[in-house]
């Protein structure tokens, strides 16, 4: 390899640590340049912060950034409309302050945790439950699923051995996650829209959240399923979508011309 300074470097391995998410990707949405409101990107958020109090906000996309930002935006905005193309599985992050005693204990365990991480398939010290799913009773499987859900985050994706390669085992975890979503989201149609149907759980990176699904119980929040009502274009007032004649629900009750002040 030759550098821009003319130096020649040889190596057995090349590690490119340049970062794949360093350049914001402005979405190619029709009519976006015609929009008169403020356009914000999570990948290029203003350092001075943004005051969204009393404003109407549209969030386009429910990937990891959308799932983490929606609860915070809903606390500020007068009205928040979330435009979702693809639903994602998300598990509570359970973020919390770590007491000094617990932190000291973790530091004492550093060497063994590192060794366990090196030996694991996913680079973390956490492993799946030691017993195959269908060697457990239905009650025992339920207890294991609850335990891994309470651990929080991506760990739920490997609750049981072979969970990401055996569809029957995966269905156990997927059905449990869907049950959790339905137990949180009060509107049945909105809950159904928030449950992924296009991939087994854990085969795409599981997102983590702090109150994401609870947010859709707020009176100022609406979900638009773009698979059902595609986004046609942006106008100067906001996004306009193709409506289908359906019974009135919270997930599609806001006017398409709702002014949007940010993304």
Residue 205 near residue 65 (C-beta atoms within 8 A): no
- The most distant pair of C-alpha atoms in the chain lies apart, rounded to whole Å, by 67
Q: How many CA atoms lie within 13 A of 165 on its CB side?
A: 3
Is residue 235 in a domain? yes
Is residue 248 in a domain? yes
Overall number of domains in the chain: 2
pLDDT computed for residue 244 by the predictor:
67
Is residue 9 in a domain? no
Q: Are residues 181 and 134 in the same domain?
A: yes
Model pLDDT for residues 167-226, shown as the tens digit of each residue: 999 999 999 999 999 999 999 999 999 999 999 999 988 999 999 999 999 999 999 999
Residue 60 near residue 234 (C-beta atoms within 8 A): no
Q: Are residues 164 and 219 in the same domain?
A: no
pLDDT computed for residue 251 by the predictor:
37
Domain region containing 167: 124-188
Is residue 2 in a domain? no
Check which CATH number belongs to the domain holding 236 and give it.
3.50.50
DSSP state, 136? S
What Rg, from alpha-carbon coordinates, does the chain have?
A: 22
**Residue numbers of the chain with a pLDDT score lower than 70:** 244-263
Q: Are residues 75 and 32 in the same domain?
A: yes
Q: Are residues 184 and 212 in the same domain?
A: no
pLDDT computed for residue 120 by the predictor:
82
pLDDT computed for residue 248 by the predictor:
42
Q: Are residues 83 and 128 in the same domain?
A: no
Is residue 170 in a domain? yes
pLDDT computed for residue 43 by the predictor:
87
| Separation between Cα atoms, residue 108 and residue 101, nearest integer Å | 11
Q: Which two tokens stand for residue 30?
A: 């029709």
């Amino acid at each position: 390899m030759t550098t821009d300074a003319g130096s020649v470097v040889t190596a057995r391995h090349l590690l490119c640590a340049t970062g794949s998410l360093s350049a914001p990707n402005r979405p190619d949405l029709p009519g976006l340049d015609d929009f008169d409101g403020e356009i914000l990107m999570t990948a290029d958020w203003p350092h001075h912060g943004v005051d969204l109090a009393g404003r109407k906000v549209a969030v386009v996309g429910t990937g990891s950034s959308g799932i983490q930002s929606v609860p915070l935006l809903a606390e500020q905005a007068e009205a928040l409309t979330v435009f979702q193309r693809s639903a994602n599985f998300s598990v509570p992050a359970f973020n919390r302050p770590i007491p000094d005693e617990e932190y000291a204990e973790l530091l004492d365990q550093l060497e063994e945790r590192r060794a366990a991480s090196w030996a694991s398939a996913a680079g973390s010290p956490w492993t799946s439950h030691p017993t195959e799913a269908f060697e457990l009773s239905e009650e025992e499987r339920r207890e294991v699923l609850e335990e891994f859900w309470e651990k929080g985050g991506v760990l739920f994706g490997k609750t049981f051995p072979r969970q990401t390669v055996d569809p029957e085992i995966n269905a156990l975890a997927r059905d449990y996650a869907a049950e959790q979503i339905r137990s949180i989201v009060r509107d049945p149609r909105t809950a159904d829209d928030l449950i992924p149907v296009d991939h087994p759980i854990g085969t795409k990176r599981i997102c983590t959240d702090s109150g994401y699904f609870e947010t859709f119980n707020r009176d100022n929040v609406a979900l638009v399923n773009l698979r059902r009502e595609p986004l046609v274009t942006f106008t100067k007032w906001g996004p306009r979508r193709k409506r289908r004649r359906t019974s009135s629900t919270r997930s599609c009750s806001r006017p398409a011309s709702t002014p949007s002040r940010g993304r």
